[in-house]
Structure 1
């Protein structure tokens, strides 16, 4: 498996071991299993520590998801007898046949701990493995839990593939483990007692829980897990609501291409997240995503908000409400707009509160909360033009959003008094163009943000996305889609809130880089671009595709001074590349794949695939988020 970090395949030069630069016991075995007839599908992402000779492992799930809507896997987790402060998941899936991509959510009781999606299989079969550091949930792994793993799937005469899954956990001790939360409280629909998943679906449901928190909290972080489905899967390609009927034969989705997930505490805005535009493996043109899936497709990452400034209020012993909302933009068709309290269906959301506790006999107090959270600044416009005879209609639209918010208080813990603050500055732009009767779309979008916490954490991110798609239909009912995509996820994160930074892999006693002390954080640049085509033949209940995708990922340790974070961004002193991977895939086959660990490059070998890519037949609206109903 490409992402699996087993330890018996890759042969490395002896000089690597002598120089101590490569963790032979940690990161070996990254070559493909040549004996397998299954196509290996993978997500390009930094490696995860899974050391050789770990004291204990456990199998949490072996299950086949066939006709599984409303029928999640339900099992029990019992903590292992060994001592551990790190937990790593290994999620392996095998599937053969035709199938859509599916969304999977895993819970411990009512708490979501892992969100993933599936690849689209081939007739001869695919497999993938994804490894994830779960140490931030250490407190949950120390107690028995009910496992609810929801992966709704459909199997019939056309969609024939089940997803055969195995989930294992590795437990071990490591000297670079951080200090995970003492308590984790879910914000969810709380349905585990009914053996049901606990996600909210917005806007149909109200994603609110009312809770009483412990009174001795010294640090609190809220995480939001959210992704759009159905009419909201391609939210980034939506248009202004006033333009949805521009092309009568191709009804478009509205509320603009802008989305904001919001956290409200007792009715007050406590922070926001502007989501990364995840594209699932059936999205836009499926040929993009085999065998390299989209960025984050196997691991839908959560956004974090430091809510420590609310602790003087939250630790008063009373009940408090926590609510997650998803907002878009409504407009009047004349360039005026405002944030909505609703969007299309549907957003699948949950949240969590990570709490670090003080001495049991201490009550956290502090000053009143100072807030600055003005409404975001919106600049929107659209225009429709056509030839004198009314043909060749073109829709152009532009959406720009800026927001800044800051919250602060002085909190008193057993360690003394300190300022707790959270600041966010975000900008968004989207330039969209529809023409050719709504069948040609060009979309250029960028999301940028800066999050700063007074506890020594900052995150600077940039999500550029450019995509173009062309749809054509024929008299015999067949249709084709062609597309190009160029997108990136670039993140510089210093310090740590609730989730691991990724440095843990490289800073262990068997590390790639022997001296991790200078690194205050990480820098990740991850770019993916490609072209793909898709042909649907409804009369044969089948479809075919081809495509090429290139991806380049760089992961570096960053040296910086965190002392001035309370007043602005830290001073970056330098960075050191720890991991680099470059992949080129064409028509099911990886033709180039090189990995570098601290500057030493090793090719990853893959077996070649032949023939066209065969995909499950899907309607146009499901693939593109637009088009004629029932197509």
Structure 2
């Protein structure tokens, strides 16, 4: 039986078959709360297999919800939350009365709005939806808008390459608008946008419905100004399959707005890639590790005053759900179930310069729209699913070494853990299973022409990370392994310091990272039930005037069962992302978008950074029949996000002591609360700079397809595969 958590594994070695589990979900016409459904007269087998080790309340709620769904009468359950928040109002009832007026489902990621330009040349803050924006002021200088890509992606190894020419207007800000439509049956896919050898944007897709979906994502790409102001070859890579089974192409439009705004970031003068360097052939340039060695020899200018390395690292195939992997010593715990994915649930992305560790990133656990159970992510997709963020490592302390006019080797690695048979210790494995897609780049700020940066260092303090692991196996009455409990804990602190001689005089450059990780997990029911509770916490502090504190909590509970030809999956996921950023990193923090909002000018000038806090809580169910080739999914997801401007105890120019400065004041700029139930948005409240913003998603069932309920769709009412 396939592993339940691997609901969207990509096997790039067999593009023709493109095997994944479970398959995409068919999408009949949606049902309203309380509608009868023509369900198969079978008891869902998954109920009998739910025997969680922890979080019993969540598990019981999920089990009861599923049981109610399949109980006598076959009625779609109406939760008290839904009834209290929406159904009791006449407005909600009227929405149901008008169902069916819109066919296309608007899928979206919750994220802070971005400053861009309307077709009339007005600067606005928006998330790209048609009615959720705040117009700011007419631009004082001419603006430009251009379409960069219009292409339908239908096959593997067929990236779309097109010349890019800068616009004629002057600009210091650039916002990209990615809009995608798809209809039919398809998995989610990973996408990448590059200028030649340099990746600018990594994204993924939503899984479509038969009636069709659409999404728009806006991205501030101002940090790439030196590239955007020169001629380039734009390469959009989006591997896909369209055939008699997988019927949906992804129709992509990428456009750009160029404009001038206050308080723009200070972009780098030069960007140098660490990539596979296939841009001249019109191909994407990310490495696939561990199969490939992700390394380049770089010779950088001698007059550098600041250098930041950024890395994009995305787990795929056996590494897509790395955070759910088991200890390497326990991969054969359930022989009848198959080999479990190993190297522990811990991952570290490492940067080496000339063979010496220069910094690390402990990745955020991305969950794609087909991940775990697809019903979790429609129409609200997972955190960062449309914008896979990069991590930053300040390599300014390395300038005395790098500015010698010689070539230096930059290498990116991804490591898991090797444990020693459950005796409580582990070491970095220096490898993982397949695959990680990685690429990096060095952002360089130059000193005066003719100056040569010299200095002493770096002096590094890089003790080995500390790991504590444990595992325990419980057997059933017949002697077979029934339950695997395992824990992984990690801690690492590293620092680099040097003295650099700039044209303005001698300066101290430093980079400090302090990280902790824990994962407590279990497999039970001979591998058919899995629970993971994970926390990643850390902070980075740079003497360049930048500091970041982050926390990535994750709880995931999933089950799988197979009886005859019926496969079922259930899941509960609670997750979050909290990031506080002080000073100016390479990538925009989101605070820049508010610089032209007159209502917050007095407060804006005093902000020293930004804070983003978001949570997602959801549960979902999926079932498919292997003989009839039908599949259904439903679920609910709630997301809350708050974005604020913050003030700190220390001035960013004085960072470098190693500890994250204390936040002393916070002012909310954006808040959004959204609830999706069975593919329909039932709540969506937003406040943007003290203004209430209305998101209109159509009426319940009109554009939010309730995937998988039989009896209402085409193909004989069974939502049959194409």
Q: TM-score, normalised by structure 2?
A: 0.79
User: What is the CA distance between 1:42 and its match in structure 2?
Assistant: 0.1
Unaligned runs of 5+ residues in structure 1 are 1-33, 616-631
**Where does residue 146 of structure 1 map in the other structure?**
233
Please state if 1:583 is matched with 2:674: yes
User: What is the CA distance between 1:115 and its match in structure 2?
Assistant: 0.3
Contact 2:473–2:481, Cα closer than 8 Å, also in 1? no
Please state if 1:354 is matched with 2:443: yes
User: What is the CA distance between 1:249 and its match in structure 2?
Assistant: 2.2
User: What is the CA distance between 1:572 and its match in structure 2?
Assistant: 2.1
Q: For the residues of structure 2 that align with 1:399 and 1:275, how far apart are their CA atoms?
A: 16
**Where does residue 404 of structure 1 map in the other structure?**
493
Alignment of 1:159-238 (within 5 A): 159-238=246-325
Please state if 1:46 is matched with 2:134: no
Please state if 1:274 is matched with 2:362: yes
Out of 559, 565, 568, which is 2:655 matched to?
Answer: 565
**Using CA pairs below 8 Å that are at least 6 residues apart, which structure has the higher relative contact order?**
2
Q: For the residues of structure 2 that align with 1:441 and 1:391, how far apart are their CA atoms?
A: 17
Question: Helix, strand or coil: the match of 1:50?
Answer: strand
Please state if 1:429 is matched with 2:486: no
> Which is greater in Rg?
2
Q: For the residues of structure 2 that align with 1:574 and 1:597, how far apart are their CA atoms?
A: 19
User: What is the CA distance between 1:145 and its match in structure 2?
Assistant: 0.4
Q: For the residues of structure 2 that align with 1:124 and 1:87, how far apart are their CA atoms?
A: 33
Question: Helix, strand or coil: the match of 1:483?
Answer: strand
Q: For the residues of structure 2 that align with 1:290 and 1:429, how far apart are their CA atoms?
A: 29
Q: CA RMSD in A?
A: 1.4
Distance 1:595 1:387, change over 3 A: same
Tell me the alpha carbon deviations over residues 369-394 of structure 1, each in whole angstroms, 9 at most, x when there is no partner: 10001110000010101134225611
**Where does residue 427 of structure 2 map in the other structure?**
338
User: What is the CA distance between 1:150 and its match in structure 2?
Assistant: 0.6
Q: For the residues of structure 2 that align with 1:101 and 1:509, how far apart are their CA atoms?
A: 37
Tell me the alpha carbon deviations over residues 281-338 of structure 1, each in whole angstroms, 9 at most, x when there is no partner: 0000000000000000000000001100000110000010000000000122132321
**Where does residue 46 of structure 2 map in the other structure?**
none
User: What is the CA distance between 1:157 and its match in structure 2?
Assistant: 1.3
Q: For the residues of structure 2 that align with 1:403 and 1:278, how far apart are their CA atoms?
A: 22
User: What is the CA distance between 1:181 and its match in structure 2?
Assistant: 0.3
User: What is the CA distance between 1:565 and its match in structure 2?
Assistant: 2.1
Contact 1:78–1:144, Cα closer than 8 Å, also in 2? yes
Q: For the residues of structure 1 that align with 2:149 and 2:693, how far apart are their CA atoms?
A: 33
Unaligned runs of 5+ residues in structure 2 are 1-99, 123-142, 710-722
Contact 2:273–2:440, Cα closer than 8 Å, also in 1? yes
User: What is the CA distance between 1:144 and its match in structure 2?
Assistant: 0.4
**Where does residue 178 of structure 2 map in the other structure?**
91
Alignment of 1:73-472 (within 5 A): 73-250=160-337, 251-335=339-423, 336-391=425-480, 393-472=482-561
Question: Helix, strand or coil: the match of 1:369?
Answer: strand
User: What is the CA distance between 1:605 and its match in structure 2?
Assistant: 2.0
**Where does residue 538 of structure 1 map in the other structure?**
626
Q: For the residues of structure 2 that align with 1:511 and 1:105, how far apart are their CA atoms?
A: 37
Q: For the residues of structure 2 that align with 1:365 and 1:193, how far apart are their CA atoms?
A: 34
Q: TM-score, normalised by structure 1?
A: 0.90
Q: For the residues of structure 2 that align with 1:215 and 1:272, how far apart are their CA atoms?
A: 25
Question: Helix, strand or coil: the match of 1:613?
Answer: coil
Question: Helix, strand or coil: the match of 1:566?
Answer: coil
**Where does residue 5 of structure 1 map in the other structure?**
none
Question: Helix, strand or coil: the match of 1:368?
Answer: strand
Out of 555, 558, 562, which is 1:473 matched to?
Answer: 562
Tell me the alpha carbon deviations over residues 463-515 of structure 1, each in whole angstroms, 9 at most, x when there is no partner: 0000000101011x210000000000001110112111111111125565553
Q: For the residues of structure 1 that align with 2:175 and 2:341, how far apart are their CA atoms?
A: 39
Contact 2:680–2:706, Cα closer than 8 Å, also in 1? no
Q: For the residues of structure 1 that align with 2:263 and 2:597, how far apart are their CA atoms?
A: 8
Q: For the residues of structure 1 that align with 2:519 and 2:295, how far apart are their CA atoms?
A: 31
Distance 1:103 1:211, change over 3 A: same
User: What is the CA distance between 1:603 and its match in structure 2?
Assistant: 3.4
Q: For the residues of structure 2 that align with 1:387 and 1:144, how far apart are their CA atoms?
A: 66
Q: For the residues of structure 2 that align with 1:512 and 1:96, how far apart are their CA atoms?
A: 42
**Where does residue 604 of structure 1 map in the other structure?**
695
Contact 1:158–1:541, Cα closer than 8 Å, also in 2? no
Tell me the alpha carbon deviations over residues 102-147 of structure 1, each in whole angstroms, 9 at most, x when there is no partner: 0001110000000000000000000000000000000000100001
Q: For the residues of structure 2 that align with 1:224 and 1:516, how far apart are their CA atoms?
A: 30
Question: Helix, strand or coil: the match of 1:287?
Answer: helix
User: What is the CA distance between 1:545 and its match in structure 2?
Assistant: 0.1
Out of 707, 712, 715, which is 1:613 matched to?
Answer: 707
Contact 1:507–1:515, Cα closer than 8 Å, also in 2? no
Question: Helix, strand or coil: the match of 2:603?
Answer: coil
User: What is the CA distance between 1:233 and its match in structure 2?
Assistant: 0.2
User: What is the CA distance between 1:581 and its match in structure 2?
Assistant: 0.2
Q: For the residues of structure 1 that align with 2:311 and 2:409, how far apart are their CA atoms?
A: 15
Contact 2:332–2:340, Cα closer than 8 Å, also in 1? yes
Moved >3 Å (runs of 4+): 509-515
**Where does residue 11 of structure 1 map in the other structure?**
none
